[in-house]
Each structure stands twice: as C-alpha cells, then as structure tokens.
C-alpha cells in the first residue's frame, strides 16, 4: 500500500514539474483575457525576469504602451527591456495582446546569401548575395547594396557574367558600406538553422509582408485614445456646497495611485479658467469607488463652473463635462451665535416641559 502511495505522489510531482505556463497566442488572447479580467483590455501577460527561463506572469493591470525597439517585462515590477537579439519591434509595443517583440529576425542562410547588416531592435536584418562566388539576386532589390527580407525576395542564384569572371564584392560601390562587425555568437544566432522548441515559439506575427506605415500610426492613435478614455474621469458631479467651498465627486476606471488631477474652475460668464492641481493622496475614496475632493477659498453666493481631468506622466486625459453650481450665502458669526442660542433655549424649554 505504501508503494502505491509513493508512486502516486511521484506521478503528481512529475505533472507539476512538466507544466510550464506560457502566454496565450494572439488567437487565444481575448479568450484568456475575458475569463481573467474585467475589462479584458487590462489583461497583461509578460516574461518574468526574476525567476529565470520560461517563466511568465499574468495579471489584471491597466494597459501600457512603449516606444519601438522595446518591450515590457516583470523584474519584479513592470520594467522596460530591449528586444532579444533574434527579435525586433518597429512600432509601439502594447501590453494588450503581446508579451514579446512581435517580429522575429530573418536569416540570411539560403543558398548564396550573406548578412549585410544585422540591424537593431527596430529593424530586420539585411541580406546580400555573395558576388565573390558568382551569386546575384533573382529579383532587383530596392537598394543596390542589400535586400530587406521582410519586404523583398532576397533569393540568390549562381550567374555567369559575359567575361566568364565572377563579380567580386569589391567591384560594387557599396563594398565599403558593408557591416563587417560580425561575432561568432551573432553568426551562429542568425545564419544557422536551429530547431525551435514549442515553449520558445510564441505564435506572434512573424516576418509578414510590407505593412503600410499609416497602419502603425492608426494603431498607435487608437491605443492612445483607449488609454486616454480609461484615464478620463466619468460621472463627474458637484455633491456639496458651502459658502466658501465646493465638493466634487467622480469615478475613474484605473487605479489612481500614480495619477494627479487638474481641476479648472471659473466664475460663470467669464473666460479665464483658474487651474489647480492635486495628487491622489488628497482624494477621499468612498466605499462605492467614488473619488471626492473639496475646492476651497471660494466666494459666497457665486456661480462656479468646474471641470476635471487626470494626468499620468505628463499625459493628460480628456476633460469631464463642466458643471455649474452656486456657493451658499455667507452667514455672519453673530447670526450663527444667535441661531445657536435659539436652538439651545428651545431644547431647554422642551426638556423642562417633559419633566
């Protein structure tokens, strides 16, 4: 009996060892995001540098974007990282839908091909035919010196020139421009075919044909628009007034610990706005998630128009709708004291009548 228990324990342990979590592919991303987060655009799945190889972490956080050539990782918090040597990111990186730089570097390892330039984290590798051995491009490339495998056919063929001589690389004008700074590591990484394990392949976009630049601009504008809408205060309202203050209230869809706010107010009928800023530390939070802030030092019995927007790292959201409210009439201290005495006398008289 003890042997069966031991075997069952070892089997369960082996299952735990065998399972490695990886981020969902783009085809499954929305399904996973919908089951994990609300709203689903907050679903984030990234490589966790802290724990080593093939360790990924998923979390429900607000979406983030990053400039080309970089990606986000956990280290242990969200951190900026460059693309790996085999990948590149020519447009903005966004955490909604991606966990790695989206394009994989091409390989200049077909018949007669050589690497002209390895590129960087924003562009693909560039290939050239080995003219020292008599190879030339099957199709004319856009640039005489090299070919871009992401947008062109860089195939080479063995040709013979009219003089029965091979055309040396030094005979073409771009010889001096060729990037010869190669290292054994990079040469093996790029130009040698290798088997990609399933756990290393992330199913992201891979060496697609030419995509117009306008598409990047539209997607960047859309992403920024979504983020700005998420940061924008909603259901903005004035919930309380005194003779010298106004209390505003609003809801916001993202955690506001790192946000600040810009509150604009003016006298009704004027054109000049008074702009005031305050941090999230100055905000009162209700149990229903509503935020509140008190605007002070106002004039009594005066109509004020107010509007609000949030600020995150110098990026400002859209303004809320403006609301107008009148402060209360100023009551003098003398009148307040008289009212207090009247109320006190009333309570004393009421108490005597009861006894």
Specify whether 58 is located in the same domain as 69. Answer: no
Residue 79 lies in a domain: yes
Task: Clarify whether residues 80 and 103 are in a common domain.
Answer: yes
Interatomic CA distance for residues 261 and 276, integer angstroms: 8
The pLDDT value given to residue 74 = 85
Backbone φ and ψ of 93, nearest 5°: -95, 135
- Show which of 105, 136, 162 is a domain's final residue: 162
Decide if pLDDT at 238 tops 60: yes
Task: Please give the residue range of the domain that contains residue 140.
Answer: 65-162
Looking at the fold, whether 275 and 256 belong to one and the same domain comes out as yes
**210 cis-preceded (ω within 30 degrees of 0):** no
Spatial CA neighbour of 204 closest among 107, 120, 121, 101: 101
CB 205: neighbour CB atoms within 10 A? Answer: 11
Q: What is the pLDDT of residue 295?
A: 92
Per cent of the chain over pLDDT 70 is 66
How far apart, in whole angstroms, are the C-alpha atoms of residue 129 and residue 146?
A: 8
Band of the pLDDT at 231, cuts 50, 70, 90?
A: confident
Q: Is residue 204 pLDDT above 50, yes or no?
A: no
Distance CA 241, CA 327 (A): 6
Q: Cα–Cα distance between 320 and 308 in angstroms, integer?
A: 5
Confidence (pLDDT) at 182: 42
With beta carbons less than 8 A apart as the criterion, state whether 72 and 93 touch: yes
Is 70 exceeded by the pLDDT of residue 317?
A: yes
- Strand-strand pairing, 43-47 and 56-60: antiparallel
**CATH number of the domain where residue 297 is located:** 2.60.40.10
Q: Are 323 and 306 in contact (CB under 8 A)?
A: yes
> Using alpha carbons only, what angle is made at residue 235 by residues 33 and 313, rounded to the nearest 5 degrees?
65
Q: Judge contact between 179 and 125, C-beta under 8 A.
A: no
Has residue 1 got a pLDDT over 60? no
Predicted confidence (pLDDT) at residue 153 exceeds the cutoff of 80: yes
User: Is residue 217 in a domain?
Assistant: no
Do residue 47 and residue 133 come from a single domain?
Answer: no
pLDDT of residue 124: 92
Of 132, 162, 192, the residue at which a domain comes to its end is: 162
Q: What is the pLDDT of residue 41?
A: 87
Per-residue pLDDT for 168 more than 60? Answer: no
How many domains does the structure of the chain reveal?
Answer: 3
* C-alpha atoms less than 13 angstroms from C-alpha of 82 in its C-beta half-sphere: 7
* In contact, 250 and 236? CB cutoff 8 Å: yes
In the 3-class helix/strand/coil scheme, how is 170-209 assigned residue by residue?
HHCHHHHHCCCCCCHHHHHHHHCCCCCCHHHCCCCCCCCC
In the chain, count H helices and then E strands: 5, 21
């Amino acid at each position: 009996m003890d042997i069966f228990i031991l075997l069952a324990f070892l089997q369960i342990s082996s299952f735990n060892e065998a399972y490695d979590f990886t981020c969902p592919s783009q085809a499954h991303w929305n399904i996973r995001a919908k089951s994990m987060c609300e709203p689903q655009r907050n679903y984030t799945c990234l490589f966790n540098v802290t724990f080593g190889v093939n360790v990924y972490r998923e979390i429900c956080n607000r979406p983030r974007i990053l400039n080309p050539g970089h990606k986000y990782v956990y280290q242990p918090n969200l951190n900026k990282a460059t693309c790996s040597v085999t990948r590149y990111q020519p447009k903005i990186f966004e955490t909604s839908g991606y966990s790695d730089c989206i394009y994989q570097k091409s390989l200049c390892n077909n018949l007669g091909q050589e690497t002209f330039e390895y590129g960087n984290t924003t562009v693909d590798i560039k290939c050239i035919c080995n003219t020292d051995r008599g190879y030339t491009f099957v199709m004319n490339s856009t640039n005489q010196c090299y070919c871009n495998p992401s947008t062109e056919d860089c195939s080479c063929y063995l040709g013979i020139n009219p003089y029965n001589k091979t055309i040396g690389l030094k005979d073409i004008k771009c010889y001096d421009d060729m990037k010869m700074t190669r290292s054994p590591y990079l040469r093996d990484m790029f130009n040698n075919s290798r088997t990609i394990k399933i756990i290393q392949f992330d199913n992201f976009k891979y060496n697609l044909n030419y995509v117009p630049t306008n598409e990047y601009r539209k997607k960047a504008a859309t992403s920024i628009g979504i983020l700005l809408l998420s940061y924008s205060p909603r259901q903005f309202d004035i919930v309380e007034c005194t003779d010298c203050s106004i209390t505003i209230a609003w809801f916001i869809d993202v955690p506001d610990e790192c946000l600040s706010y810009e509150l604009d107010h003016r006298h009704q009928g004027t054109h000049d706005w008074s702009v005031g800023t305050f941090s999230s530390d100055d905000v009162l939070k209700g149990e229903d998630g509503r935020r509140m802030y008190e605007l002070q030092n106002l004039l009594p019995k005066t109509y004020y128009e107010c509007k609000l927007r949030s600020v995150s790292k110098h990026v400002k959201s859209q303004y809320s709708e403006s609301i107008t409210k009148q402060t209360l009439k100023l009551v003098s201290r003398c009148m307040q004291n008289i009212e207090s005495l009247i109320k006190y006398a009333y309570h004393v008289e009421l108490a005597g009548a009861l006894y």
